[in-house]
Amino acid sequence: MTTPRLLLPGSALGVVLVALSSTSCSGSGGSGPPSASIGGSGGRLSIDSGPLAGTFLDVPAGAVGADVVFRVESLDEPMLDAYHAAIGPAIRLMPEDLPFAVPAELQMPFSLDLVAGRAGPNDVRLMVWTTDPANADYRTPTALDQPAGLARTTLTGTVAVMPVAVLQDPVLPIVDWLPLEPDTLFEYDDGSTLSVEISASEPHLEGLELFRLAWDTAASPAIGEYWRRTPGGQTIYHGSFDLGTGVQTIAIDPVGLLLAEAQVNALRRQAYRFEFYESIANPQPTSWGETDLEIALELISTFQTPLRSFENVVRMTLLETDGAGGTGRQRDYWLARDVGIVAYRLSQFGSTALLTRGELGGTPLLGD
């Protein structure tokens, strides 16, 4: 999911400074960042127009010991984890890392429209950080005006701040969690390997350029699946094969396995009609069948493998059902962003194989 970025063009801002005491203060609303000089008697820097309309910084008496020129600088939206989305612009209060002897109060605008109903007023947070957004503090606002779209928090120093929403069921650009690249070879702790190659000459699928995912073990020949990636980023399932038994299953109507963006912690069901070949070499299918395929995505905050720990891993479960409560084969894949399948289980009765090393598109994966 791409969250809209709200930038802060200085020429579009109206800046008002309200004196909180007899100390005289002035603000600037020109082409530069909004600014104002506030001294020991305190003051308020407020913005009354533009993307940050409604923003103010209240600096109480005694917070600073001398006159300080405070500025509001715009920031690009930092990278967020899957459970948070930006609902307002990101700013940094300057001078950087200036402590307040008495806590100041900051108010910022937000809009839940940016998350399309996937979060409510109780999910609003103010993301606060000093240097690294990865170490941000997600604060519940000290005051929230939902109709006006304004949230407040107290600060003990100048920091960077951005309003965010805690998402209950995040929508992820799942294509990033499943990079399909040729010359990929992963090794797992059960001795198996996963190879990914592009093929346009698979039996009964001639002419289709597919990704051929093949799992090999020392004890048995490869079993695997045929996947395809559309220009729009959707992952399509075209069937499976087992070189040990010679069996091949081909989807009559290819299944949309993963959308380019998918909602996690949700279940999707799709009809799956297939041709069954008792031998891959057979020119005609042995039989036909139909089942329902349930596709479930679950977000896991941290997942440990022998190679290293991965954050925000998506567990994709594929379960075949007969539509009447009966279940068949279940496969589970644990997907890490920009890596792919860091663990898998090809049967509900099997064990989970964990990634130990690998190369993605010929580039070695880094461990801890």
Is residue 153 within 8 Å of 145, Cβ to Cβ? no
Return the sign of the alpha-carbon dihedral for residues 315, 321, 326, 330. negative
Alpha carbon 128 to chain centroid distance? Answer: 19
What are the residues facing 107 on neighbouring strands?
Answer: 56, 152
- Rounded mean pLDDT of 167-190? 88
Q: Does a structural domain hold residue 90?
A: yes
pLDDT of residue 323: 57
Q: Does a structural domain hold residue 293?
A: yes
| Angstrom distance (rounded) from CA 84 to CA 97 | 25
Instruction: List the one residue out of 148, 140, 139, 163 whose CA is nearest residue 86.
Output: 163
**Single-letter amino acid code for the residue at 176:** D
Total number of domains in the chain: 2
Do 177 and 326 sit in the same domain of this protein?
Answer: yes
Q: What is the CA radius of gyration of the chain?
A: 27
Do 150 and 225 sit in the same domain of this protein?
Answer: no
Provide the 3-class DSSP secondary structure of residue 331: strand
DSSP 3-state helix, strand, coil percentages of the chain (rounded to 5)?
5, 55, 40
- Rounded mean pLDDT of 155-168? 93
pLDDT digits (tens, 9 = 90+) for 335-368: 999 999 999 998 877 899 999 999 999 999 998 7
Higher pLDDT, 219 or 326: 219
| Angstrom distance (rounded) from CA 58 to CA 45 | 7
Do 114 and 94 sit in the same domain of this protein?
Answer: yes
Provide the 3-class DSSP secondary structure of residue 121: helix
- Please list, in sequence order, all residues whose beta carbon lies within 8 angstroms of the beta carbon of residue 351, skipping any fewer than 6 positions away: 190, 345
pLDDT digits (tens, 9 = 90+) for 257-313: 888 778 777 778 888 889 999 999 999 999 998 888 888 888 888 999 999 999 889
pLDDT of residue 29: 45
In angstroms, the first-to-last Cα distance of the chain is 28
Is residue 161 within 8 Å of 128, Cβ to Cβ? yes
Do 147 and 232 sit in the same domain of this protein?
Answer: no
Q: Which domain, by its residues, includes 97?
A: 10-167
What count of other Cβ atoms lies within 10 Å of the Cβ of residue 293? Answer: 21
Tell me whether residue 151 is exposed, middle or buried, using C-beta atoms within 10 angstroms of its C-beta: 0 to 12, 13 to 18, 19 or more.
buried
- Please list, in sequence order, all residues whose beta carbon lies within 8 angstroms of the beta carbon of residue 41, skipping any fewer than 6 positions away: 20, 21, 22, 23, 61
Provide the 3-class DSSP secondary structure of residue 176: helix
**pLDDT band for position 315 (cuts 50, 70, 90):** very high
pLDDT of residue 3: 35
Do 339 and 212 sit in the same domain of this protein?
Answer: yes
**Single-letter amino acid code for the residue at 1:** M
Burial 114-130 (b: 16+ CB within 10 A, else e): bbeebbeeebbbbbbbe
pLDDT digits (tens, 9 = 90+) for 104-144: 999 999 999 998 777 889 999 999 999 999 889 999 999 99
Instruction: List the one residue out of 238, 252, 250, 253 whose CA is nearest residue 280.
Output: 250
pLDDT of residue 109: 97
Return the sign of the alpha-carbon dihedral for residues 148, 153, 154, 158. negative
Q: Does a structural domain hold residue 163?
A: yes
CATH number of the domain within which 64 lies: 2.60.220.30
**Single-letter amino acid code for the residue at 87:** I
pLDDT digits (tens, 9 = 90+) for 4-63: 333 222 333 344 434 333 333 333 445 678 999 999 999 999 999 899 999 999 999 999
Strand 56-59 with 99-109, pairing? antiparallel
Do 76 and 179 sit in the same domain of this protein?
Answer: no
pLDDT of residue 325: 57
Domain end position, chosen among 151, 167, 183: 167
Do 51 and 89 sit in the same domain of this protein?
Answer: yes
CATH number of the domain within which 180 lies: 2.40.360
Do 253 and 114 sit in the same domain of this protein?
Answer: no
Q: Does a structural domain hold residue 283?
A: yes
Domain end position, chosen among 116, 132, 167: 167
CA angle 227, 231, 234 (to 5 degrees): 50
Do 64 and 177 sit in the same domain of this protein?
Answer: no
pLDDT digits (tens, 9 = 90+) for 192-243: 999 999 999 999 998 899 999 999 987 777 899 999 999 888 899 999 999 8
Q: Does a structural domain hold residue 2?
A: no
Higher pLDDT, 325 or 267: 267
| Angstrom distance (rounded) from CA 199 to CA 208 | 8
Q: What is the DSSP letter of 168?
A: S
Higher pLDDT, 91 or 257: 91
